[in-house]
Amino acid sequence: MDRPKKNRPIGLVVAGIVGIVLLVAIGAVAAVNIAANNNVVVEQEPARAATPVQAPTPTEIPTEAPIPAGTAVPTEAEIDAVPETAEGDNDVVTAQDGILTEDDRPTRLRGVTGSWNTNWNRHIIEYDELLSGGPPRDGIPSIDEPKFIGSDEAAAWLADNEPVISLEIDGDARAYPLQIVTWHEIVNDTVADVPVIVTFCPLCNSAITFDRRVDGQVYEFGTSGLLRNSDLVMYDRTTESLWQQLTGEAIVGDQVGSQLDFLSSSIVSFADFRQAYPEGIVLSRDTGNQRDYGRNPYAGYDTIGRSPFLFDGEDDDRLPAMERVVTVALADADVAYPLSLLSEVRVINDTQTGQDLAVFHADGTSSALGAGTIADADDIGATGVFDPNLEGQKLTFLIEDGKIVDEQTGTTWSVLGQAIDGTLAGKSLTPIVHGDHFWFAWAAFKPDTIIFQGGEAQRENLKGANVCATVCATHSSTTSTARTLPQEYGQPGITRQQWR
């Protein structure tokens, strides 16, 4: 839609732009710190540098900061060319397929993305949902030529309890330590001839792996510097379309309508990975970037009761925002298993919309977002979700002498779904794609999620066999926000509509 152009004093416009640039710069320098007044952690990654960058303490935040490398500063001509529009007042054209077809970016987003070659006339979200996380595009550098080493060599700097993203395809097993991936968020790799993208959004605790082929073409991805619902927004370097990490869908640009295929991966301890894959390889610290690997730039962020950073979506108060949940997206249902419950019962045998599920938990994995040194963080454990049907037999699982055992054969199983001792030793369960996310993030994208719950009366039974989808009248949480639920909702789970 054509709009009349308003005359603006150049001096005021330039001053405004300079102010915006300085704010971005200060955010990039100070972003790893917990804000002193509201205990909020800011996503931060220093620009590519030849020397290590140390995060300033709150008392060291400068009043003026250099413009981060990679920040595009618009010229006066570019400033004058930006239409002056009221945010949210634009008439947006919607195509029949639900795609919005007008570039109605608010001024602040245009200032950040003015030099991009993204097709802004195609989008399936409102542009005011996109927020700058602080660093510019690629300010958090993806790893595009990853190098790997053996587990024995990695053990010199990687503790047994440290979390890694475990990915195995056709016998090619790789571990991506979160002490590295936290600083980069994206690894473009090829595993067993499959082009993959291994991603981690620290703000949502979401580690997700995708096949990075779309319609047969291989894409390379980077960080856009933008967030939506606090979640990482990626971009592909071919079309510069924007992609949502948590859902894998293209949300802006020529690729709108495309969906990345999820690949099964898990956050487990380095020790779990080594036991499962003795010949597996580990992402090297030789990334081409100097970072303080092993240090957690988001120390304390996973504290229950903390407010998520840059999240302005609707709160779903069925669970605390920062509660960890094990999530499964099935064809007809989205399901969340609160970690506070799963860590107690260790195994859950469930069936949702016709899909049998075995949900495992094992101790021994530290949080990547707790202590300042990841190896010193609290043990939150690791999880796995599997199809319990193996060679025509449905297995049910229980905890026996602290081990995951199937009731049918007495075989012992690992959190990675491998039979490690007993009749079925050497067999593996089929993994089901799952996530270990903060509740607020999952609920923002999956508002109709069913929350699996188990009550005090069922907890002992949950440790036994043949229990599926039982719930109770009270929700047990790690905080004082536990609520009493109506008894009539005590079926396979509590939907958001029922809760409201």
Q: Is residue 311 part of a domain?
A: no
Q: Do both 258 and 329 map to the same domain?
A: no
Q: Do both 411 and 471 map to the same domain?
A: yes
Neighbouring residues of 182: CB distance < 8 A, sequence distance ≥ 6: 200, 202, 296, 297, 298, 368
Q: Is residue 110 part of a domain?
A: no
- What's the chain's Rg over C-alpha atoms? 23
CA distances from 227 to 34, 202, 212 (A): 18, 12, 20
Token output for 388: 């319990």
Q: Is residue 61 part of a domain?
A: no
Contact 26, 61 (CB under 8 A): yes
What's the confidence (pLDDT) of residue 28?
Answer: 41
Domain boundary among 231, 261, 283: 283
C-alpha–C-alpha distance, residues 427 and 215, integer Å: 34
Q: Do both 492 and 409 map to the same domain?
A: yes
pLDDT > 90? residue 38: no
Domain boundary among 227, 261, 283: 283
Q: Do both 335 and 394 map to the same domain?
A: yes
Q: Is residue 473 part of a domain?
A: yes
CATH number of the domain to which 277 belongs: 2.102.10
Q: Do both 479 and 382 map to the same domain?
A: yes
Range of the domain at 185: 148-283
CA distances from 298 to 138, 142, 322 (A): 19, 18, 14
Q: Is residue 411 part of a domain?
A: yes
* Percent of the chain residues past pLDDT 70, beyond the cut: 71
Q: What is the dihedral of CA 147, 152, 153, 158, to 10 degrees?
A: 90
Token output for 312: 């302005």
pLDDT > 80? residue 266: yes
pLDDT > 60? residue 105: yes
Give the amino acid at 181.
V
Q: Do both 250 and 335 map to the same domain?
A: no
C-alpha–C-alpha distance, residues 388 and 98, integer Å: 38
The total number of structural domains in the chain stands at: 2
Domain boundary among 283, 312, 345: 283
What's the confidence (pLDDT) of residue 477?
Answer: 30
Q: Is residue 420 part of a domain?
A: yes
C-alpha–C-alpha distance, residues 289 and 177, integer Å: 15
pLDDT > 80? residue 491: no
What's the confidence (pLDDT) of residue 313?
Answer: 86
Q: Do both 166 and 279 map to the same domain?
A: yes
C-alpha–C-alpha distance, residues 163 and 2, integer Å: 53
Contact 165, 200 (CB under 8 A): yes
Q: Burial-class residue 480 by CB neighbours within 10 Å (0-12, 13-18, 19+).
A: exposed
What's the confidence (pLDDT) of residue 308?
Answer: 93
Q: Is residue 363 part of a domain?
A: yes
Contact 271, 160 (CB under 8 A): yes
Q: What does the pLDDT average to over 39-46?
A: 39
C-alpha–C-alpha distance, residues 290 and 298, integer Å: 18
Q: Do both 479 and 338 map to the same domain?
A: yes
What pTM was computed for the model? 0.77
Contact 102, 121 (CB under 8 A): yes
The closest alpha carbon to 81, from 18, 165, 10, 187, belongs to 10
Partners of 438 in beta bridges: 324
Q: Do both 330 and 474 map to the same domain?
A: yes
Q: Burial-class residue 101 by CB neighbours within 10 Å (0-12, 13-18, 19+).
A: middle
* Average pLDDT taken over every residue of the chain: 80
The closest alpha carbon to 153, from 280, 52, 265, 275, belongs to 280
Q: Do both 368 and 459 map to the same domain?
A: yes
Q: Is residue 108 part of a domain?
A: no
The closest alpha carbon to 230, from 212, 250, 211, 245, belongs to 245
Q: What is the pLDDT of residues 321-378, one digit of tens each?
A: 999 999 999 999 999 999 999 999 999 999 999 999 999 999 999 999 999 999 999 9
Q: Do both 270 and 330 map to the same domain?
A: no
Q: Do both 485 and 356 map to the same domain?
A: yes
Q: How many CA atoms lie within 13 A of 307 on its CB side?
A: 14
